[in-house]
Amino acid sequence: MSEGDRTTHPAGERFFRPAPAPPLPEEPADRWKRLSSRVVWVDLVQVVVALLPAGIAFAIGIDPEGGGLWPLLGIAVFGVLGAVIDATRWLFTRYRVTETHVELRTGVLFRVHRSIQRDRIRSVDAEAKLRHRLAALRVLEIGAGQQSAARESALKLDALGRADAYALRHELLDPDARAAAEDAIGEDADDVEGRVAAPDTAGSREPLADAEPDADEQPIAVFWRFDPRWVVFHVLSVWSYVVVLGIGWGANFFLGTFGIDLVEVVSGLLDWDAIGTAGTVAIGFVAATIGGMLALAVAFFTEYWGYELARVRGRTTTDPEAGSKEGTLLRTRRGLFTTREVNRAEHRIRGVRLSEPLLWRWIGATDTTVITTGLSLWAIDQPTAILPRGPIAVHRRIAAEVLDPDHAPLAADLATHPRAALRRRLWWATLLTLTVAAILVWLLVTDVVPAVALAGLAILWPLALVGGLVAYRALGHAIVGPYLVARSGLTSRATTVLRRDAVSTIVVRESLFQRRLGLRTVATMTAAGAGRYQVPDLTRDDALRFAADAAPGLLDPFLEM
């Protein structure tokens, strides 16, 4: 022992002072972390809820031989199995965020280690089902530009604490805020909400039960908020009959397990023999229409409740010439029971696309999606959609504000296409009719259909010709400042607005029939959206002129001077 560790008591007694303990090493910021432990409690509640119906059935003495218990037992098995799988996933899942990567390790029998470079992150979306919202949890999906439905390049953290999820999202979308986010992750939700989400109101510790940590952050601009009147554009659909048939079949199957025949119940409501066949069909049609519309209305309100389209601050970008520039995000929030928030980096948006399906066109309804990189075009939740289906006038106005209100490409007058394009569509309509006629004649000769079936050709040909005329009138194109505009389509007329500087490839094509009519199709290629957008049936000169203007300088080496 050294002399420095020895001291003398004033009374002359000698004793040894213990050396101070070495300081504990600081915990690394990029340590492996677990998902929120509240997932386990959510799974426990799910088990109880799944077993409850079967338990009540046993308690009241439902006869198992009657078949009434099987649906309840199925619910119990699936509920318990899902909860066990979810708890096992939580036990074997770890994630960490380093200076360069976001990593995820999961799996029991097959271990999976996935990582995404932070500079390749294109989206960080938050979602919460009802059970997550009740437990203050969020599912965070980190995307790296996937364009497939499989979403293999996305990491899903299911589930994080609400404050941790939004602090991590803030960190990944804005690297300059990393230090503030690191202080927030892992702390109590109330503290995080006070310091990270609303620094100026740190003393307030009374957030709403389900308020987001950044709910107090004021957006730069709000383009649209939920309008319940738009429900009319969602209930007028042929899908209403499909939905009501599915609900009826499911209800009949479920009630049948309890010995209740839904068909017999409906048959006993009215004297169908007295009403007659025509009256029965009419009542069934009206009932299916009303039932389907009500089902679609419920789906509209649950899916789009609280919808908001806004521009918010995002990642700071660096331009070698202009220096640092604050980026912006196009954010949508929606959902009643299951909430979802999608953020789209505006500097990655290359254009918009307005789709007007034929069955909705007569009521002036349209869908609007953005043409952007980093979001899957085929995902079920449609992250590229920025508005619910609604009036085309409102969609055009909002799309113009999102894109470029100065140039207003959607308000431009589109150039008409040559008459040869109309003749081509009329020939295709006639060819379709002749093909159907040949099939009907063959079926008539083989005694499969009666001769009266040929009378349908008298209706088919005029309808096909009208369809060709409608498809021709939908054609149009224009160059408006930095944008190109293309419109086409019969069953779904689509108007595409694409930035000219986003066009990477130009394809000018002519088929055998187009060559005889002097027509060509121009296809513009881009790395965003569907990747290929066409302008069909232009004259040869117009096609070359449009192709040269759509991507300035791209075709110059191939054009004759």
Beta strands at 476-480 and 385-391: parallel, antiparallel or unpaired: unpaired
At 509-521, the pLDDT tens digits run 999 889 999 999 9
E strands in 438-482 = 476-480
Q: How confident is the model at residue 149 (pLDDT cuts 50, 70, 90)?
A: very low
> Where is pLDDT greater, at 326 or 172?
172
Domain positions in the chain: 121-217, 229-304, 419-472
Global pTM? Answer: 0.78
Instruction: Return d(Cα 522, Cα 540) in angstroms, integer.
Output: 10
Give, as one character, the DSSP assignment of residue 447.
Answer: T
The Cα–Cα gap between 123 and 340 comes to: 13
On whether the CB atoms of residues 171 and 182 are closer than 8 A, the answer is yes
Lowest mean pLDDT among 84-93, 131-140, 142-151, 160-169: 142-151
How far, in Å, CA of 366 to CA of 218, rounded? 29
pLDDT at 210 over 50: no
- The model's pLDDT over 262-318, given as tens digits with 9 standing for 90+, comes to 878 887 777 777 888 888 888 889 999 999 999 999 999 999 999 999 998 876 555
* Per-residue pLDDT at 63: 59
pLDDT of residue 497: 95
427-430 long-range contacts (CB < 8 A, ≥24 apart) are 427/513, 428/468, 429/461, 429/464, 429/465, 429/467, 429/468, 430/461, 430/464, 430/465
Q: What pLDDT, on the 0 to 100 scale, is given for residue 346?
A: 87
Q: What is the pLDDT of residue 131?
A: 86
The token pair that represents 520 in the structure block: 């060509």
Burial of residue 89 (number of CB atoms within 10 Å: 0-12, 13-18, 19+) = middle
| CA–CA separation, 202 and 204 (whole Å) | 5
**Whole-number pLDDT of residue 449:** 80
Q: What is the mean pLDDT of residues 472-476?
A: 94
| Residue-level pLDDT at 67 | 56
User: Pick the residue with more confidence: 479 or 69?
Assistant: 479
Please report the pLDDT score of residue 109 as a whole number: 84
Residue pLDDT, tens place only, 433-459: 999 999 988 988 888 888 888 888 889
Do the Cβ atoms of 303 and 339 come closer than 8 Å?
A: no
- Whether the pLDDT of residue 141 is over 50: the answer is yes
Sheet holding 308-319, edge to edge: 155-161, 137-143, 123-128, 339-345, 323-334, 308-319, 221-225
Element (H, E) at 123: strand 123-128
Mean pLDDT of 18-23: 52
Q: What is the reported pLDDT for 173?
A: 76
Is the model's pLDDT at 201 over the cut of 60? no
What's the mean pLDDT in 194-220? 43
For the residues 496-507, what does the mean pLDDT come to? 92
Whose CA is closest to 64, among 51, 76, 54? 54
Could you read off the pLDDT of 420-436 as tens digits, one per residue? 999 999 999 999 999 99
Token pair for 223: 């383009």
Task: Write down the residue that tokens 């054609």 correspond to.
Answer: 475
Which residues pair with residue 366 across a beta bridge? 390
Give the distance from CA 5 to its chain's centroid: 68
CA–CA distance, 340 with 165 (Å, rounded to integer): 13
Neighbours of 172 (CB within 10 A): 21
